[in-house]
Structure 1
Amino acid sequence: MTTPPALARRLGVGDAVAIGLGSMIGAGVFAVFAPAAAAAGPWLLAGLAIAAIVAFCNATSSAQLAAVHPVAGGTYAYGRAELGAWWGYLAGWCFVIGKIASCAAMALTFAAYAAPAGWERPVAVLAVALLAGINLLGVTRTALATKIIVAVVLVCLAVVVAAGWASPAAPGGAQTPPGVGAYGVLQAAGLLFFAFAGYARIATMGEEVRDPARTIPRAIPLALGLAIAVYAVIALASLRALGVEALAASPAPLADVVAAAGWDAAQPVVRVGAAAAALGALLALIAGIGRTTLAMAREDDLPRFLSAIHPRTRVPHRAEAVIALVVIAIVAFADLRGAIGFSSFGVLLYYLVANLAAWRQGSAVRRYPRWLQAVGAAGCVVLAFTLPWQSVVAGVVVVLAGAAYRLIRLVAERRASAE
């Protein structure tokens, strides 16, 4: 009996950081500040700080777990190992469904910036197909493409920051007077968490990282720290240039920052940056969902057909192809650019399981104190259920549907084995 091919360990620290950073500094930076400012008002920076704290706690849990369980699947695998099969399944289900919605949103965001009017959906479909093809060539191609995209995006964001500080300061632009309730700040934090969730990609690809016990605990905090720094600088520049009210009302806030400085020639740079950021996020998302789908299929929590690994490129080619087809179908018929809240709900529940799993780990493998996991778990619950109510309702329905699917499958298996 031949051993099926496994994923190959080809990623170093730099590759892992690039994939995580590409996921976090994605299209969210060009869109998430407007709804967050609308929720938090002048307390936007407080919302950003809360999101960063919860993200840091979650990152330490993921790093601690990944060092002990260096396999594909991220929290799906950790939840199964530390808490039980049901916990792992719910984490994996929330991740896959939420991130598929994010893929569609990123594809449509790219097309909104890059496509001629009327061609947005065909261009979005083409982008998904192209990036899925890059991922199918092998994980090193994914890492290389992500590094190039991240470099382009960082240059474009540097232009936005320079414009923000060159423009006249908006009245009350960076001040935070009282007037917004705690609920609004927490809702903004939940929306902004969407921007920080990309470090999960490093953990979900744990089976492809060299020396994972050393590489992953270094790569996750490093990628998260860089992303927090970038988002903080962008938030300050945007508040200074536009002020809270204009930022909250803007459909393209970073483009408006450049316009406020009178840098009309830099407008195309922002469009290029937004398009590149969306591509980078989409590339890393497809890769991460593919690995979680692979792990779930190996345990029969998704169809076993999806557990195949290509013998030459060593990627889960069937899982990634099916994901691409699902995303293409959604992009062709639905507009999911407003899916930030839905995605945040699913990912916050995913990290709730990560924190609970890390809490269960013993002192022999513990890298961080338990209070960090307690703060992370509590933060995930609070932020998840202070998101816009539509996102919470949709998220709860999807979680229940996933639980029903697994329960039906288990009952059917028991009946089949009893016959």
Structure 2
Amino acid sequence: MVGAGVFAVFGPAARAAGAGLLVGLVIAAVIAYCNAIASASLAAVYPTSGGTYIYGRERLGPWWGFVAGWAFVVGKTASCAAMALTFATYAVPGPEWLRRAVAVAAVIGLAAVNYRGVTRTAALAKVLVTASLVALAVLVVAITVTGATTADNLRWDGHDGVYGVLQAAGLLFFAFAGYARVATLGEEVRDPRRTIPRAILIALSITVVVYIAVGVTALLAAGPQDLAAATAPLVAAAEAAGVGGLAPVVGVGAALASLGALLALLTGVGRTCLAMSRHRDLPAWLSAVHPRYDVPHRAEVALAVVICAAVAVGDLREVIGFSSFGVLLYYAIANAAAFTLPSPGKRGVRALSVLGLLGCLTLAATLPWQSALTGVAVVAAGITGRLIILRRRGTAMRR
């Protein structure tokens, strides 16, 4: 959740809503909280790999589970390639071929860590997220103590309107979405019924505090216009506050955060592929679990190969807007599934599920139309493919 997004998301959010991005941040946090409660409630009932893919299947039916799983796998696979390329861009300011080679090496290295089991994955994740948080803390403290900030930058004139704020919320929500991956690890966690719900809520709480601190600090230093025009908004904030010497710190933090995001993505997507292959929504051979390391090793290897190919042939940073659409659709299904849980003691969960469902659909509708259209097309392609496969299976069975 504290990945590369925090180093870049405030730029497009400022373009959408100006200083109103802080309102969008609050909206995104509220919807993320609703989704977190839904995911935590479902994880306590279904402590198995797959996350919302499993929840959708069990509570709503196979088709809803498939749509959730397909949106997650396709969108997050593209995000994996983007995170690898983002890491290489910050880590190796050299020729394009070198950046692509470094990005491929990063995918292979982190896939190897995942292959050895979730304990090693968790240990490396701690190191990466700690380094990212330290970089953000240094930036926030340095900008705050310089005094080169102005409260006028926080004033929102409202000219971007409700649509702009909701679009900013949709963009900012994407950065909160990492807690979905916690729920995909149900089979590899001690006492998952207790651990996963606690982990989701604690992680979300920490991330909301970090994002609010960074967003307010960046606005105070650079203002909405400079943030909107910047490709590296936190670097722009440091320069506007007179601490441009911290740009390398921001760069290192962004590179490490990209690795952290890539590591979490590989872990979550691999486990969702495992669940989908068990139910024959993906090839069955991907369901193999390593006898020693207890990980879906074939799914991990296949995923790494696909990502490396994507990194080698194209820059996906310009075409993954549909990933936000996929994430919102994924959580909309999670909220719908949580609403169907047995009612005793679940009234609060049901109310939050309704709010979360409506919030996800609203934010998806207010995303840039290109992103929404691409997302609809990708989901439709997956549904069409599954229909064809099911018909062929039915024909084969009749024979």
TM-score (norm 2): 0.97
Whether 2:134 is the aligned partner of 1:155: answer: yes
Distance verdict in 2 for CA 1:307–1:268, change over 3 Å = same
Aligned equivalents of 2:357 and 2:83: distance in 1? 27
Whole-Å Cα distance in 2 between the matches of residues 412 and 81 of structure 1? 24
107, 115, 122: which is aligned to 1:136? 115
Question: Which residue is equivalent to 1:296?
Answer: 276
Q: How many residues align?
A: 396
Distance in 2 separating the partners of 1:409 and 1:187: 36
What is the SS of the residue equivalent to 1:173? helix
- Provide the C-alpha distance between the structure 2 equivalents of 1:107 and 1:400, rounded to a whole number of angstroms: 27
Q: Does 1:146 align with 2:125?
A: yes
Q: Is the 8 A contact 1:33 1:253 kept in 2?
A: yes
How far apart, CA to CA, are the structure 2 residues paired with 1:97 and 1:80? 18
Counterparts of 1:239 and 1:130, CA distance in 2: 36
Q: Residue in 1 aligned with 2:8?
A: 31
Please give the per-residue CA displacement for 1:240-265, whole angstroms capped at 9, x wherever unaligned: 00000000111111112222233343
Alignment counterpart, residue 249 of structure 1, candidates 219, 229, 232:
229
User: Quick one: which amino acid aligns to residue 388 of structure 1?
Assistant: P
Cα distance, 1:339 vs. partner?
Answer: 4.7
The answer to whether the aligner puts 1:77 opposite 2:57 as a matched pair is no
Post-superposition shift, 1:364?
4.5
**TM (normalized to structure 1)?**
0.92
State the match for 1:106 in structure 2.
83
1:387, 1:65 → 2: CA distance? 27
Q: Let me know the Cα RMSD of the aligned residues.
A: 1.3
In structure 2, the partner of 1:66 is 43
**Structure 2 partner of 1:210:** 190
Residues of 2 paired with 1:261 and 1:182: CA distance?
30
Alignment of 1:122 with 2:101, yes or no, is yes
The structural deviation recorded for 1:385 is 1.3
| Residues 247 and 375 of structure 1, relative CA distance in 2, 3 Å threshold | same
Q: Structure 1's 108 and 365: CA in aligned 2 closer, same or farther, altered over 3 A? A: farther
1:209, distance to aligned residue in structure 2 (A): 1.4
After TM superposition, give the deviation of residue 167 of structure 1 in Å. 4.7
Distance 1:223 1:171 in 2: 30
CA 323–167 in structure 1, closer or farther in 2 if over 3 Å, else same: farther
Structure 2 residue ranges without an equivalent (≥5): none
Q: Secondary structure at the match of 2:153?
A: coil
1:189 counterpart residue number: 169
Letter matched to residue 412 of structure 1: R
**1:9-35 CA distance string (max 9 Å, x none):** xxxxxxxxxxxxxxx100000111100
Structure 2 match to 1:13: none
Question: Can you give the 5+ residue segments of structure 1 that lack an aligned partner in the other structure?
Answer: 1-23
1:76–1:91 Cα contact (<8 Å) kept: yes
Q: Which moved more, 1:188-197 or 1:211-220?
A: 211-220
For residues 170 and 262 of structure 1, the distance between their equivalents in structure 2, rounded to whole angstroms, comes to: 13
CA contact (8 A) 2:38 2:349 kept: no
